[in-house]
Amino acid sequence: MTGTTQPVPQAPHIRRAVVTGSAGFIGSHLAHALLREGTTVIGVDRRHETSDQSAAANLAPLIGQPGFIAVTADLLNCALEPVLLDADVVFHLAGMPGVRPSWGTQFGAYVQCNILAAQRVMDAATRLGVPRVVVASSSSVYGPTTSQASLETDHPHPASPYAVTKLAEEQLCLAHAGRPDCRTGVAALRYFTVYGPRQRADMFIQRALSAALTGTTLRVYGDGRQRRDFTYIDDTVAATLAAATASNDTGVVNVGGGTNASLTEVIQLAEQLTGRTVPVEYFTTRNGDVPLTRADGSRALTHLGWKPKVDLTSGMAAQLQHLIRSTARQAA
Ligand code: NAD
Ligand code: UGA
């Protein structure tokens, strides 16, 4: 394990890539890494820089960069062939994330953005013969697990509507790839709780660091002993880039780790890094939340040549520095 000063992940040689979800947390970092390698990036998202603060922050490093073409469009109804035409790879990261809100009235939007959008992307990609689609799946497909690390061959037990849609999404993409007439290879990456600069505001580490800086109360769902294989954004991007050029039989791969930690350990780290106390209030465990995620990394190593490099302390320190800088910019 090292700190975050490791060299920026090296993109394999990709001439032209489509990144869906480019105004999002992971998609914007991926697009930036591709641009640094000289790839032409067509970034597709239904949000744009005036949509909300997080889209603006995510897009800021991309807008105006040579090689970046922003397409503001909804994957559910836009014409996809002109967007995907001539791409070497489509990174399909657009979707509705978040485990806990998926029980409510938003379920239809989860189905649309995670399943129907993937169907449209795969349909267009296979018709055009795009060589590779890399799709963002989720550790949540495993559901409740024991202390054993989850293997890609484990039987999935998704425990939330969100997780069900992510399992459907990855399997749908793989079903397209399995057609005898299909020239498109699919890699489905099961990301494990990704964190780092510009992490979504609904996620725990971002909330813990904000609470430490502002003194607002952090709401913990459950007793804080649930554990996650937290995965730093640069590691996530490196695995995603590797999946673009990995062999066609890559299939499903866990992208997880760096550090397995409980929420209580995350709070302690936030306190150490800021030198401040985090006020905490405990609430009941939310439906669909699992007590533990832990990735078996063997397949990622053999198929992607990838393993996580950034430990939680270094990764959270980088996230904290970014949060301090962006808060100061907003206040100025
Ligand atoms: P995010 O919400 O920051 O980004 C997703 C982006 O997709 C958003 O900008 C949104 O506007 C866009 N989008 C959604 N539906 C769209 C549509 N119909 N048309 C066009 N754009 C659309 O989320 P994120 O954390 O960056 O997650 C990216 C992907 O990774 C998602 O598929 C998510 O399910 C998956 N994932 C994330 C994590 C994590 O820890 N962040 C873990 C596992 C899997
Ligand atoms: C995260 C992403 O949000 C999902 O989109 C993704 O699919 C999933 O990772 C994954 O790995 O597949 P989650 O692990 O729930 O989901 O990550 P957080 O939202 O950061 O939550 C982590 C834990 O903190 C959960 O137990 C949650 O209940 C808890 N939490 C979160 C709180 O106690 N309080 C909060 O304010 C937020």
Q: Domain locations in the chain?
A: 16-331
- Mean pLDDT along residues 34-50: 97
Q: Which among 56, 43, 46, 115 is positioned nearest to 84, based on CA atoms? A: 43
Please tell me the distance from the alpha carbon of residue 90 to that of residue 20, in angstroms, as a whole number: 8
Q: Pick the catalytic residue: 162, 191, 195, 232? A: 162
Q: How confident is the model at residue 1 (pLDDT cuts 50, 70, 90)?
A: low
Please tell me the distance from the alpha carbon of residue 159 to that of residue 166, in angstroms, as a whole number: 11
Q: Which residue puts its alpha carbon closest to atom 15 of ligand 2? A: 99
Q: Which among 312, 311, 305, 301 is positioned nearest to 152, based on CA atoms? A: 301
232 is catalytic: no
- The number of the ligand nearest the C-alpha atom of 83 reads 1
Q: Which two tokens stand for residue 233?
A: 């954004």
Q: How far is the CA of 95 from the centre of ligand 1 (A)?
A: 4
Sheet hosting strand 16-20, strand order edge to edge: 68-72, 40-45, 16-20, 89-92, 132-138, 185-191, 251-255
List, in order, residues 6 or more apart from 101 with CB less than 8 Å away. Answer: 162
Q: Which among 230, 122, 233, 220 is positioned nearest to 171, based on CA atoms? A: 122
- Calculate helix-pair angle for 25-36, 233-245, nearest 10 degrees: 60
Secondary structure element (H or E) that encloses residue 214, with its range: helix 204-214
Q: Which two tokens stand for residue 250?
A: 């890559």
pLDDT, one tens digit per residue, over 285-330 is: 999 999 999 999 999 999 999 999 999 999 999 999 999 999 988 8
Q: Rg for the chain (alpha carbons), in Å?
A: 19
Substitution site in 45, 58, 74 for ligand 1 pocket (most atoms within 8 Å of beta carbon): 45
Query: At residue 12, does pLDDT exceed 60?
Result: no
Residue 8's pLDDT is what? Answer: 47
Residue 4's pLDDT is what? Answer: 57
Give the dihedral sign, CA 237/239/244/250. Answer: negative
Tell whether domain 16-331 is in CATH 3.40.50.720.
yes
pLDDT, one tens digit per residue, over 115-127 is: 999 999 999 999 9
